[in-house]
Structure 1
Amino acid sequence: MAADRLPHIVLFSGGTACRSTNLALCAKPAQLTRIVPAWDSGGSSKVIRESLDVLGVGDIRQALMTMAHGEGRAGDIVKVCNARLTSSSAADARTEFALYAESHHPLLERMEPGLRGAILNYLRTFRAAIGTDFDFRNGSIGNFILAGAHLAHNSDINTAIFVFRKLCDIAGHVWPSTAESSVGLSAVLNDGTALSGQHEVTALGEEQGRIGIREIALSTAAGAPVAANEAVIESLESADIVVFGPGSFYTSILPHLLVEDVVPAIARNVHARRVFIGNILQCRETRGLDVAQLLQTAAAVWRERGGADVRPFTHVLANRQLLPFEKTVGAFAYLGNGALEEACMRLGAEAVIGEFEDPWQRGQHDGSAVADIIGSLLPE
């Protein structure tokens, strides 16, 4: 690594599960890039995708807002981009949206004219494209701005993100792993049940969760391979460390490896560390599984996608198991480590076992502890 540049950390991540780690990494002397899913099929992202034929912007906007928070950006533009409309009635939500789009909202009224004009342009572009029947309730203003920028810049999501970052003065990068607007996630359970859409996988019932997921797939509406975002490939090729997680394994972490050229790009970067972070708790997708089993699943996908000659991970971070029995937080048990030492030995990875649970928020990562380990693993 050149002495005159900051180390580059690339993070394949989930949403809320990664928040504390992202915030802590923002405080490190490093260039930070988040790579997020583009196949969100639930909530307001689903409505926007179906109405405008664009990729899901919710995970992108959420990651950008986390970057803004970590970098100490709290101005009026960030407040606007982080605002959410009322959920009371469709009429009230439409009225509230109009306050923003017509520049009558106090946050916009006191904003510098050039910045205000850019935001208004994107909101009005969005409103013109969305039609008269769109339900704005509980919608994110940031999602609307980002979707409007996407449309205004010839459906180029990278340009839209660049503009959004400049508006909010965000230094960190956030890219979806693919720029394909129609990409969708599907899964097959161990009993052969097929699930279509990320929202179905994340909403697995207890019985389906215990049956378990056999495989997942990404596809486009045209059936073509899912092409990688060029910005992601460039980020992976320049990374000093590539981190997988924390986040939902089958919907937020593993699918990135299914995107064309992602695994080969990581494998080509021979000097970068590759770190897998085990979650603290099981979730709907991983009931009854352990870190060692998830590693084996990820390694199998890695080999299938072109990484056979390179070990998938150099290090595995796992939470120390303090009790000899299963303990739960709410509906979910702690994610056990299983035969982790043996799995790491087979993969050529080093197990880094520590107390990574946040002492104040049970079941969540201590972002500072995780960030410190990531920093210590950066190549010299």
Structure 2
Amino acid sequence: MAADRLPHIVLFSGGTACRSTNLALCTKPVRLTRIVPAWDSGGSSKVIRESLGVLAVGDIRQALMTMAHGEGRAGDVVKVCNARLTSGAEADARTEFALYAEGRHPLLERMEPGLRGAILNYLRTFRAGIAADFDFRNGSIGNFILTGAHLAHNSDINTAIFVFRKLCDVAGHVWPSTTADGVDLSAVLNDGTPVAGQHRVTALAEGEGKVGIREIALAAGGERVAANEAVLESLESADAIVFGPGSFFTSILPHFLVEDIVPAIARNVRARRIFIGNILQCRETRGLDMGRMLDIAAGLWRARGGADVRPFTHVLANRQLLPFEKTVGAFAYLGTGQLEEACARIGAEAVIGEFEDPWQRGHHDGEAVADVLSSLLPS
């Protein structure tokens, strides 16, 4: 079947939580599009955002690298884009970056001239844009290349992603849900405490996590957070729109806050809309269960223009085998709670299965999830 005739799955996700599902879907006869956050405010993305005032590229780059892995791309370009600088001395990190930016790294020296020239152009554009005291430690070369492409192409992140995909020979699509620069996520806890920044929300202290999150918000310098046109086009052609797995309050739910995203999803009445529950609770969701999470998502869906269209047609939940709370490390398994009742309220079908990876406790079995997603595609 021609690639453009294959079923199209659009996956709203964060970073590592959906990696196994992404990899498994790459082996299926489907077209895959990842929609990722653009409000990451930690790690390498934070340093780049603060230096250049651009949108966060870390989740975009990570998703593209996952696509590359799933599609079997392991050439020198992918190795360069997946490289990370030393986290040791700042001077050492600067020296290591120079190896790449000046074309002296062995991976670049043996690369085809056209590819090497494009990468060097983007790295040099990035270097020209940052301050002299930029901290390169633990920086991602892929983030630097993607940011350089963003700057080189008139701050058009979609063009930068297109170029990055071509460099890495990646077929799958990855888009941020908004192209706006400087988008910030914030939350208010149930006791009224404000928490500013995605990196702070996703790393709530144990006490804050037990208090729980009352609401979240997105802002972009006082302006509305407009949807990426590429995302709206993807939603229009989707056969299945999947939410998760991933951090509920920072990687999944905030997409509903982007202007026009919820109405675009609602207009595609033919597509399956599938929510994938996490295996474990996390710092954001201590004390919550699947039933309560569905109610929260449905409330935000209606508030953002979902009208009478049900937010989800199916909900995937990991089977609960024990009558008591079991933990893996610091976190308990995510309970189903009043799942059947919550599904009945929104008109969704609960699909309960054994979705935990038998080799990695607390993680999804990507093959099991991908098999169910494939079975739910409209005929």
2:378 is matched with 379
2:277 is matched with 278
| Superposition pairs of residues 311-322 of structure 1, within 5 angstroms | 311-322=310-321
- Per-residue CA deviations over 1:83-133 (Å, capped at 9, x if unaligned) read 000111111100000000110000000000000000000000000101210
CA-CA distance at 1:25 after TM superposition: 0.3
- State the secondary structure of the residue aligned to 1:236: helix
- Per-residue CA deviations over 1:319-378 (Å, capped at 9, x if unaligned) read 000000000000000000000011101110000000000000000000000000000000
CA-CA distance at 1:249 after TM superposition: 0.0
1:251 is matched with 250
Could you tell me which amino acid in structure 2 is paired with residue 236 of structure 1?
L
1:167 is matched with 167
2:26 is matched with 26
2:322 is matched with 323
| Superposition pairs of residues 314-353 of structure 1, within 5 angstroms | 314-353=313-352
1:208 is matched with 208
C-alpha separation in 1, matches of 2:211 and 2:171: 43
- Per-residue CA deviations over 1:223-244 (Å, capped at 9, x if unaligned) read 1211000000000011000000
- Per-residue CA deviations over 1:43-86 (Å, capped at 9, x if unaligned) read 11011001111000000000000000000000000000000001
- Per-residue CA deviations over 1:294-320 (Å, capped at 9, x if unaligned) read 000000000000002100000000000
1:108 is matched with 108
CA-CA distance at 1:14 after TM superposition: 1.5
C-alpha separation in 2, matches of 1:144 and 1:4: 32
C-alpha separation in 1, matches of 2:87 and 2:271: 45
Number of residue pairs matched by the alignment: 379
Question: Which 4+ residue blocks in structure 1 deviate beyond 2 angstroms?
Answer: none
- State the secondary structure of the residue aligned to 2:242: strand
- State the secondary structure of the residue aligned to 1:160: helix
- Per-residue CA deviations over 1:149-200 (Å, capped at 9, x if unaligned) read 0000000000000000000000000000000011100000000000111011
C-alpha separation in 2, matches of 1:16 and 1:199: 15
C-alpha separation in 2, matches of 1:52 and 1:207: 34
2:92 is matched with 92
- Per-residue CA deviations over 1:243-272 (Å, capped at 9, x if unaligned) read 000000000000000000000000000100
2:178 is matched with 178
| Superposition pairs of residues 1-380 of structure 1, within 5 angstroms | 5-221=5-221, 223-380=222-379
- State the secondary structure of the residue aligned to 2:83: coil
Could you tell me which amino acid in structure 1 is paired with residue 204 of structure 2?
L
- State the secondary structure of the residue aligned to 2:265: helix
CA-CA distance at 1:4 after TM superposition: 7.1
- The answer as to whether partners of 2:274 and 2:316 remain within 8 angstroms in 1 is yes
- The answer as to whether partners of 2:3 and 2:31 remain within 8 angstroms in 1 is no
C-alpha separation in 1, matches of 2:4 and 2:32: 16
- State the secondary structure of the residue aligned to 1:362: coil
User: What is the TM-score with the length of structure 1 in the denominator?
Assistant: 0.99
C-alpha separation in 2, matches of 1:183 and 1:140: 21
- State the secondary structure of the residue aligned to 1:246: coil
Question: What residue ranges of structure 1 are gaps of 5+ in the alignment?
Answer: none
C-alpha separation in 1, matches of 2:131 and 2:279: 43
- State the secondary structure of the residue aligned to 2:6: coil
Could you tell me which amino acid in structure 2 is paired with residue 141 of structure 1?
I
Could you tell me which amino acid in structure 2 is paired with residue 288 of structure 1?
G
Could you tell me which amino acid in structure 1 is paired with residue 300 of structure 2?
V
CA-CA distance at 1:3 after TM superposition: 11
C-alpha separation in 2, matches of 1:14 and 1:364: 14
User: What is the TM-score with the length of structure 2 in the denominator?
Assistant: 0.99
Could you tell me which amino acid in structure 2 is paired with residue 209 of structure 1?
G
- State the secondary structure of the residue aligned to 1:158: helix
Task: Calculate percent identity across the aligned residue pairs.
Answer: 84
C-alpha separation in 1, matches of 2:368 and 2:321: 17
- State the secondary structure of the residue aligned to 1:51: helix
